[in-house]
Structure 1
Amino acid sequence: MNIIGEHIVLRAVEEGDLPKLQEWANDPSIQSMLGGWHFPVGMQDQKKWYDGLSVGSTNQRFAIDVPGDGIVGTANLVNIDWQNRNGFHGMLIGDPDLRGKGIALDTVKTIMSYAFNELDLARLDTDIIEYNVRSIEFYTRKCGWRVEGIRPSWYFRKGRRWDKVVVGITRQQYEEFMACSI
């Protein structure tokens, strides 16, 4: 089953996507904006990651597909806590020429609709390294998410410590956001 947005399709990651995913995994300009620690990724490790994907998992990863362009990024719903109805969302748009074209907004709206309306989650959150101001403003100004906290000195990048900015959205906030977006 694909998850259909206005301009994008969230679909399963396919083996044919691996070269593009490996390229993005090894792109310092992309990885510097993401959490976690990153090491060079060879195709063998990319394949192991792919082989570990499971539809029954609490960690779901999607290819962001734009009809006519193919895969342009990835999105996820991970660490899904079914008892408390929470999930963590992350996203990357791999091609810098496609950033600022509405793909990310359509992706987040599609993820929120799926999470709240299909999976019946109560809230989503994500965290962003403090110098990724573009992402913080995107989620809070364009997607209805709210800054929920700061975790000081969480990341080490560029020779210094950086804060983790935690942003999230509840189902009620999502419904209010969507009502204002119409």
Structure 2
Amino acid sequence: MNILGKKVVLRAIDEADLPLLHKWANDPEIWHMLGGWHFPSNFDYQKKWYEGLKSDQSNQRFAIDTPDLGLIGTVNLVDIDWKNNHAFTGLQLGDKDIRGKGYGIDTFMAIQRYAFEELHFERLDGTVIEYNNIAYNMITKKCGWKEEGRRRNWYFRNNRYWDRIEVGITRNDYVELIEQTNYWSADSAS
């Protein structure tokens, strides 16, 4: 089963995706904008990571595909709490030339629709590094997320500490966003 957006298709990660995912996994510019910590990895590590995806029901990762460009990134639902119906989500877009074209917004809208309308989640959580204004503005101004707090001096990048901005969206936030924007109607612009 694929998850359809207006511009993107979210699908299972395939073994054929590994060379491009490995390239992005070793791109310091990409990882500078994402939370967590990352070390350079070899291709064997990427294959072991891929093998682990098959049996992990608490962490679901999806390839972001477009009809014209193919694989452009990944999005996830991780740390899934099936009892309380919530998960953490994050987005990684690959090459710079695809950014700013609405793919990130459409990916978030598609993963939100899947989480709220198919998996009956109550909320999604995420984080943003304080200097990643593009991501912050995208999810709060276009995708309905709300800032819920900050953890001061959480991330160490470029020889200083940066805040971790905690963001979230509830099922009601999502429903209100869809009512306001008519995002999924055929004639709405994305």
Name the TM tier (shorter chain): over 0.9
Q: Partner amino acid for 1:100?
A: G
Aligned residue in 1 for 2:172: 172
> For 2:56 and 2:114, how far apart are their aligned partners in 1?
16
Looking at structure 2, the residues matched to 6 and 139 of structure 1 have their Cα atoms a distance apart, in angstroms, of 17
The secondary structure found in structure 2 opposite 1:100 is coil
1:83 aligned partner = 83
> Which sections of structure 1, spanning at least 5 residues, go unmatched?
none
Q: Which residue of 1 aligns with 2:140?
A: 140
Q: Which amino acid aligns with 1:34?
A: L
Q: Which amino acid aligns with 2:97?
A: D
Runs of 4+ with >3 A deviation? none
Contact 1:54-1:60 at 8 Å conserved across structures: no
1:3 aligns with: 3
Q: Deviation digits for residues 10-64 of structure 1, max 9, x if unmatched? A: 0000111011001111111100001111110110000000000026511000000
Q: CA RMSD in A?
A: 0.9
Q: C-alpha displacement at 1:139, in angstroms?
A: 0.5
Cα distance in 2 for residues equivalent to 1:8 and 1:77:
17
CA deviation vs aligned residue, 1:83-135 (integer Å, no higher than 9, x gap): 11111010011011111111111100000000000000000010011111111
Trace 1:83-162 onto structure 2 (pairs within 5 A): 83-162=83-162
Q: Which amino acid aligns with 1:179?
A: E
**Aligned ranges 1:9-20 → 2 under 5 Å:** 9-20=9-20
How far apart are the structure 2 equivalents of 1:69 and 1:153? 37
CA distance in 1, matches of 2:56, 2:126: 22
- Counterpart mapping for 1:18-33 below 5 A: 18-33=18-33
Per the alignment, residue 71 of structure 1 pairs with 71
Distance 1:56 1:154, change over 3 A: closer
Determine what percentage of the aligned residue pairs are the same residue. 54
Q: Could you tell me how far 1:5 is from its partner in structure 2?
A: 1.1
Structure 2 CA distance, aligned partners of 1:77 and 1:19?
22
Q: How many residues are paired up?
A: 182
Q: 3-state DSSP class of the match of 1:156?
A: strand
Amino acid at match of 1:161: Y
1:110 is paired with a residue whose SS is helix
How far apart are 1:68 and its partner, in Å? 2.6
Deviation of residue 163 (structure 1)?
0.7
Deviates more, 1:2-11 or 1:109-118: 2-11
Amino acid at match of 1:69: L
Q: C-alpha distance in 2, partners of 1:166/1:100? A: 23
Separation of aligned partners in 1, 2:56 and 2:38: 26
Per-residue deviation at 1:7?
1.4
Unmatched 5+ stretches in structure 2: 183-190
